[in-house]
Amino acid sequence: MTASLDQIVVQHGTDPSFVRVASDEGRVYLGERRGGRPLLFDGRTGEPTNAGAAKPPGVVDILLALHGELLAGLLGRLFIAIVGLTALISIISGVVVYAPFASDRPFGDIRKSRGRPLAWLDRHNVAGIAIAAWLTVVAVTGFMNAIEKPLFTLWRAQIGGFLPKIAAGGKAIGPDQALSSARAAAPDMLFETVIFPGPAPGIAGYYLVWGEGTRPLTSRLTAPVAVNAANGAAVGNGALPMPWYLRALDVSRPLHFGDYGGLPLKMIWALLDLVAILVLGSGLYLWAARRRRRRSPDRVGLSDQTHMSEAAE
C-alpha cells in the first residue's frame, strides 16, 4: 500500500469523516460526514475505483441491516436491545420453571404416549434447555452490539475530557502523519482506520487512529491512538486505555456471529440457529394450542395450573 492518504483526501474529500486502509483488499475507503457509501480508491495508486461502489446492497447486506437495526437506525438498534433483554429474561425464567419438572426425569424424555401437545411440550423444553447457554450468549452479545453507538458516545464524552484541549486553528497535519505517529507510538498494533477531528465519531482537535492487536488473543481487541491534529504528537505512550464496556463490545461482535473459529464455528452457529428456530416455532405452536383448548367448550374451567400439573407427571 503506497497510496498517499493526504492526496486522496485533498483531491476527493469535502468533509471527510474517516479513511481506512484495507491492506488485505488493496483498497482505501474514504467516508464523508454526510453519510452514504464510502468512496473507494486503489491502495497502490490512490486512483478512484468503482469496483463495488455502484452496486446496490446485496441480500446479505440487507439482512444484516434488518437484523441489527430493523432498517430504522438508532431507534431500531435500541428496540433490538430491548428484544435482547426480554429474550435473556425469557431464557432465565424458562430454566427456573423447567428445573423442578426435570428433576426426577431422565434428560431427553419425550412422552409420546400422552398425546401430541405434551410430546411437543417435551421437545420444546428439551431443545430449549440443550441450547440455553448458547441462547444466553447470543442474547447478551446481541444486546451489547445493539447499544454500540450509545457506548461509544459515552466513551467519547469521557475521553474528550481526559485529552488536553487544543487551541482553535484547524488541522496542521494530514492522515498520513497521523497514521505514522500511531504506528510509532504502538508498534505492536495493526492500524487501518483514521477518524478525523470533529463531531462524532471523532473528537475535536485529535485524529483517532484505530488499531487492533497482532496476536491471536488480541486480534479482536481494538483501541485508538489519539494524535494531536496541530503537531502530530501522539498522546501518551501508546493506545488509549479502553473501558470494560468497550472491551466487552469487542468480544461480543465476533462471538455473536460465530467469527472466532472460522467456517467450522460458523456452521455450528448455523445449526444452533436452526434449533433455536425450532424452539421458537414449537413455543408458538404450544401457545396456539393452549388458546384453542381454552376456547373449547369441553375445556372451559380448566386452568393453566391443571395443564402444568399434567405436563409435570
Mean pLDDT of 76-84: 93
Structure confidence at residue 171 (pLDDT): 63
Best CA proximity match to 228, nearest among 198, 205, 202: 205
Tell me whether residue 38 is in a domain: yes
- How many other C-beta atoms lie within 10 A of the C-beta of residue 306? 11
pTM for the structure as a whole: 0.80
Q: What single letter denotes the amino acid at residue 110?
A: I
Tell me whether residue 305 is in a domain: no
Structure confidence at residue 310 (pLDDT): 45
Mean pLDDT of 203-211: 93
Structure confidence at residue 196 (pLDDT): 95
Tell me whether residue 294 is in a domain: no
DSSP of 196-224: PSSSTTSBTTEEEEEEEESSTTTTT-EEE
CA angle 153, 144, 39 (to 5 degrees): 60
Higher-confidence position of 170 and 244? 244
Best CA proximity match to 196, nearest among 4, 14, 3: 14
Contact 219, 212 (CB under 8 A): yes
Provide the domain limits for residue 10. Answer: 5-55
244-247 long-range contacts, CB within 8 A, separation 24+: 245/151, 245/154, 245/155, 246/151, 246/152, 246/155, 247/221
Which of the listed residues 36, 55, 74 is the one where a domain comes to its end? 55
Question: 3-state DSSP call for residue 19?
Answer: strand
Which of the listed residues 231, 257, 283 is the one where a domain comes to its end? 257
pLDDT over threshold 60, residue 51: no
pLDDT over threshold 70, residue 301: no
Contact 176, 194 (CB under 8 A): no
Mean pLDDT of 191-215: 92
Q: In whole angstroms, what is the distance from residue 225 CA to residue 234 CA?
A: 7
Show the cell assigned to 74.
Answer: 438508532
Mean pLDDT of 106-132: 77
Tell me whether residue 281 is in a domain: no
pLDDT over threshold 60, residue 30: yes
Structure confidence at residue 306 (pLDDT): 41
Q: What single letter denotes the amino acid at residue 20?
A: R
Tell me whether residue 137 is in a domain: no
Q: Which residue has the cell 474514504?
A: 30
Q: Indicate if the alpha-carbon torsion angle 107, 112, 114, 120 is positive or negative.
A: positive
Which of the listed residues 257, 279, 302 is the one where a domain comes to its end? 257
Domain count, the chain: 2
